[in-house]
Structure 1
Amino acid sequence: VSAQSSIHVFLCREVWEKTANYSETMLILSLLVLAITGVTIQVLLHYLKLLLYTRRFPKAGLIYPLIGNANKLYDVPPEEILPVILKLAMKTDLRKMAAALGTKSIMMVFHPETTEAILSSNLHIGKSVEYDPLNDWLGGGLLLSKGAKWKSRRKMLTPAFHFRILEDAMITFNKYANNLTQSLLADGDCGRASLDIFPFMAKCTLDIILESAMGTGWFIQSQKSMDYPQVVNAMLRLIQHRQRSPWLMPDILFNLSPWKRKSDEYLSVLHGFSRSVIEQRRNEMKNSKSNDLGKRTAFLDLLLQARTSEGQELSNSDIQEEVDTFMFEGHDTTACALSWTILLLANHPEEQDRLYEEQIDIFGQENIDGLIENHHLNQMKHLEYCIKEALRLYPSVPVYGRTLESDVKLDGEIVPKGTDFLVISYLLHRNPLIWDRPNDFLPRRFSSDFSSGSSSTTTTTTNKNNSNNNNNNIEPKSLHRSPYAYVPFSAGPRNCIGQRFAMMEEKAILSTLVRKIKFVAIDRVEDVKPVIEIVTRPHRGIHVQCVPR
């Protein structure tokens, strides 16, 4: 009896344990099914929300669950992204286009009225998620910061771009522009060899921003091997790849990918260089007399001497994020603008000749190699037109992104809060509703006397094969354009703080170059593809011959 009882108890216990294990397994499976069901419902509801949003506007095509419209860009070569977006935009009302990247709703705009709706706002000033991959590099600097931090930093740094300080930078502009001229003529064998001019422009503008804004002379142009410009290029390519791959945008997934190791390698170089710049200037300040500070620089000195509202010095990370931001923005965007301008001038020798004649009128033949002074810049009207037209065709920043803080009515329909609003300046500047012959290089369109009658003597085209177009059939739309039709430095409260500095720098460099070098085209304009890598970069460079005058 005792043995039978033991067997009975054992069997009951075994049955109970199996039942308990089965119940536990079923509970886990049930919870897993509920979780999957919940996630699926959330995805479907969000997808339905995206469909309802996009159906009210012209859209970029069919929206797929989880990826949105990312399929249209992922397998596209970098140099074909802008043409794809342009092709899609031409099927719309040329004002706006709804899209989705991953699960994020997007509104692209490329008309002055729809552009003004976002750029003029004092509410919608937070940058969109497309800027998130820049966080590890630029931190919370002026480009990426928002709210109270952005307002306080903007107020703190604005004095660094006072006109008197900008005038002091002319010595720096002259010095490094002349170094650039010598480098182009030497490396180009006085016009007998072709050069990719972009690396030369990048080194020159980096020299200028380091000395004029950071107060430290590094003489980058004299260094044959310099890691920083090359690593900037590599980092921007990585960021662009991440931006068009929705699965790499979340940090948790990006950190698990092989791209993370590459990013860390690049950041080590970029941050190491900016820390060296800060440390060098800090040591110079310690060894300088107080009344000498600020003579050569304003920007970095302001950061090193700044105090918070609580009276505390800025932390090392606060200083570095602003230095990283301005070193990148202060040299790379200007290098792009200079390179595109030279490409256009090389392909339009009549405009280049007109620039040279203007320089002779200003300096005189006997002083054609003279140094530029501030009053000279105001006389360089045609040079200014050429720079502005180059920035219209190839804006240094092709896309500006904001995240909506509230619902916005756009052309009578509601764009919901949280949508990423992208101003496609590259398309805005080529919108045929706004610009006459939008793809043509017409510097005089920025002249106050531009008219259909006068344009026949100044019109050129970005494509030489189309040079036989009837130039007399041009209506001067540019005379009546909105201020939001042309935004190479953005617009509204978050416009570029250094735009006056950039224009002075570009005019000084191009004036020096045009007076000493005749640029001869190797690449045709239509063969040089622009690539969106935060800035508008030339795919595979820009090649010209540099012939001494």
Structure 2
Amino acid sequence: MGLSEGYFRSVMVGLVLYLLLRLILSCWILPILVYRKIRKNGFGGPTPRFPLGNVTEMKVDTKIINNVASSSLAISHNIHPIVFPYFARWQKSYGEVFVYWLGKEPFLYIAEPEFLKKMSSRVHGNKWGKPNVFKHDRKPMFGSGLVMVEGDDWVRHRHVINPAFSPPTLKAMASLILEPATKMLERWTTLINSGKLEMDVEKEISSMTGEIIARATFGLRNEKGSEVFEKLRAMQFTLFNSNRYVGVPFSHWICPKKNLEAKKLGKEIDQLLWSIIKDWDGSHHRYLVGYLMEGEKLSAREIVDECNTFFFGAHETTAMALTWTLLLLAIYPC
């Protein structure tokens, strides 16, 4: 009995030591070796503190700038130092190209067009790598959509999607854009005439662009498209509120409830998209789902992921650009 207990304890001690060594190797030794190799190749940047990398610095800078911004009434169009204070500070110290770290994952920051042009001329678009850490953390959002696939899969997805964004196709979608925009402006006019001089412009534009994207993806009268959009927005807030430690080992355990909520929303969105694809009868060729289903070049799973990608990629960028444009027009009316 004593021999068996001793053997069991030895095995357990050995297992614990093995896991501890793997943890140290993964979280400290390997990232340090990668950091030294990057420095040796001429890339500067802030010094990381593993296993958090530069996350602590980023949080401190964001907290400081938020306190300053909340106490100031001044509005400036120079938004970069306010939204990304750490990038603005590092850019002054290390130039327009540098490496920063999220946990044990290095990221290349590029604010120099010529550098990007030079890199693009030497490396084809389908050869650019996609960070595995984002593939995992953003899987409920993008799945295996265009922003996540690589190599030949990227070429295939791009080839299928390109026709949906040709000038003639976009011109044919003008009515899909015009109607929601007109309705929004008429609603604003009514509110102003009734004496309400303040409104949440960002919320209004976000709702309007969401309706446009739902129509452009699934058609004019597909109510399921709007439901998908609402759930995708909920997932977006859930993911970005929980994954603040991207790249940090075991970060998915920090907010398990939020991560489970995002996965649940992901499954509900998939079911809605599956039902839309199943009911598709080929009459909506001019909508995105029609192009994705043409020729059976993409699997049903890939079509679902591309719909998700289109919602996220098209909505946030468009809504923010329009909101910021209106703000600039308000600041500089002449």
- 2:104–2:249 Cα contact (<8 Å) kept: no
Instruction: Tell me which amino acid in the other structure corresponds to 2:49.
Output: Y
Q: What is the TM-score normalised by the length of structure 1?
A: 0.50
Q: Which has the higher strand share?
A: 1
Alignment correspondent of 1:127: 130
How big is the alpha-carbon RMSD for the aligned residues of Structure 1 and Structure 2?
A: 3.3
State the shift of 1:182 in Å. 0.9
5+ residue gaps, structure 2:
67-81
**How many pairs align?**
311
Please say if 1:305 is aligned against 2:289. no
Q: Deviations over 1:128-179 (max 9, x none)?
A: 2453222223221222222222211211222222322222222333322211
Is 1:200 the equivalent of 2:189?
A: no
Task: Please tell me whether the aligned partners of residues 54 and 99 of structure 1 are also in contact (alpha carbons under 8 angstroms).
Answer: no
2: CA distance, partners of 1:71 / 1:100:
10
**Cα offset, 1:305, TM superposition:** 3.0
* Aligned 1:235-254 pairs, distance under 5 A: 235-246=235-246, 253-254=252-253
Q: 1:139 to 1:158 in 2, by over 3 A?
A: same
The normalised TM-score by structure 2 is: 0.78
Q: Please give the alpha-carbon distance, in whole angstroms, between the structure 1 residues aligned to 2:134 and 2:18.
A: 35
1:260 — aligned with what? 259
| Residue from 138, 146, 151 that aligns with 1:147 | 151
Instruction: Quote the residue 1:339 is aligned against.
Output: 323
What is the CA distance between 1:329 and its match in structure 2?
Answer: 2.2
Q: How has the CA–CA distance of structure 1 residues 162 and 144 changed in structure 2, closer, same or farther, with 3 Å as cutoff?
A: same
Are the aligned partners of 1:172 and 1:212 in contact in 2 as well (CA < 8 Å)? yes
Deviation, 1:70, is: 1.6
8 Å Cα contact 1:141-1:322 kept in structure 2: yes
- Which of these residues, 35, 46, 59, is aligned with residue 30 of structure 2? 46
Q: CA deviation at 1:235?
A: 2.7
> What are the within-5 Å matches in structure 2 for residues 466-505 of structure 1?
none
Q: Alpha carbons of 1:178 and 1:147: their partners in 2 closer, same or farther (altered >3 Å)?
A: same
Distance in 1 separating the partners of 2:299 and 2:11:
52
CA contact (8 A) 1:69 1:99 kept: yes
The match for 1:107 is 108
Q: SS of the counterpart of 2:128?
A: coil
Structure 2 residue 49 is matched with structure 1 residue 64 = yes
3-state SS of 2:49 partner: coil
Aligned to 2:79: none
Change (3 A) 1:167 1:63: closer
| CA spacing shift, 1:216–1:276, aligned 2, 3 Å | farther
Which protein is bigger by CA-based radius of gyration? 1
Q: Give the deviation of 1:115 after TM superposition.
A: 2.5
Amino acid of the structure 1 residue aligned with 2:323: S
Deviations 1:272-295 (A, max 9, x none): 554454455x15x4xx5xxxx63x
Please show how residues 430-449 of structure 1 align to structure 2 within 5 Å.
Answer: none
- Counterpart pick for 2:308 among 312, 324, 336: 324
The answer as to whether partners of 1:97 and 1:107 remain within 8 angstroms in 2 is: yes
Q: Which has the higher contact order (CA 8 A, sep 6+)?
A: 1
Residue number among 81, 84, 87 corresponding to 1:82 in the alignment:
84
Deviation of the 1:349 alpha carbon: 0.5
Q: 1:320 Cα shift?
A: 1.4
Q: Deviations over 1:386-428 (max 9, x none)?
A: xxxxxxxxxxxxxxxxxxxxxxxxxxxxxxxxxxxxxxxxxxx
Task: State how far apart, in whole Å, the 2-side matches of 1:172 and 1:212 are.
Answer: 7
> Quick one: distance in 1 between partners of 2:325 and 2:163?
29
Q: Is the 8 A contact 1:188 1:195 kept in 2?
A: no
* Larger mean Cα displacement after TM superposition, 76-85 or 155-164: 76-85
* Corresponding position of 2:71: none
| One-letter amino acid matched to 1:18 | G
Could you tell me the percent identity over the aligned residues? 18
Could you say if the C-alpha distance between residues 168 and 243 of structure 1 is closer, same or farther in structure 2, counting changes exceeding 3 Å?
A: same
8 Å CA contact 2:100–2:109 kept in 1: the answer is: yes
In the alignment, what sits opposite 1:162?
166
CA contact (8 A) 2:232 2:269 kept: yes
Change (3 A) 1:276 1:230: same
Matches within 5 A, 1:281-296: 282-283=280-281, 285=282, 294=285
Q: Confirm or deny: 8 A CA contact 2:231 2:265 kept in the other structure.
A: yes
Matched-pair contact (CA < 8 Å) for 1:73–1:81: no
The amino acid across from 1:216 in the alignment is L
Alpha-carbon offset, residue 268 of structure 1: 4.8
Is the 2:51–2:104 contact (alpha carbons within 8 Å) kept by the matching residues of 1? yes
Q: Distance in 1 between matches of 2:204 and 2:96?
A: 38
- Counterpart of 1:143 in structure 2: which amino acid? V
Shift of residue 233, structure 1, vs aligned partner: 4.1
Q: Give, in whole Å, the separation in 2 of the partners of 1:184 and 1:276.
A: 35
Q: Relative to 1, partners in 2 of residues 1:186 and 1:113: Cα closer, same or farther, differing over 3 Å? A: same
2:92 maps to amino acid: M
Change (3 A) 1:162 1:30: closer
User: Which residue number in structure 1 is paired with residue 117 of structure 2?
Assistant: 116
In the alignment, the residues of structure 2 paired with residue 278 and residue 39 of structure 1 have an alpha-carbon distance, to the nearest angstrom, of 44
Deviation at 1:218, TM superposition (A): 4.9
Judging changes above 3 Å, is the alpha-carbon distance between structure 1 residues 39 and 326 closer, same or farther for their aligned structure 2 residues?
closer
User: Larger helix proportion, structure 1 or 2?
Assistant: 2
Q: Residues 124 and 320 from structure 1, CA distance in 2 versus in 1: closer, same or farther, beyond 3 angstroms?
A: same
2:238 and 2:262 in contact (8 A); partners too: yes
CA distance in structure 1 between the aligned counterparts of 2:210 and 2:152, rounded to whole angstroms: 30
Q: In the TM superposition, what whole-angstrom CA distance separates every residue of 1:492-547 from its partner, at most 9, and x where no partner exists?
A: xxxxxxxxxxxxxxxxxxxxxxxxxxxxxxxxxxxxxxxxxxxxxxxxxxxxxxxx
Counterpart-to-counterpart distance in 1, 2:120 and 2:241: 26
Secondary structure of the residue aligned to 2:108 is: strand
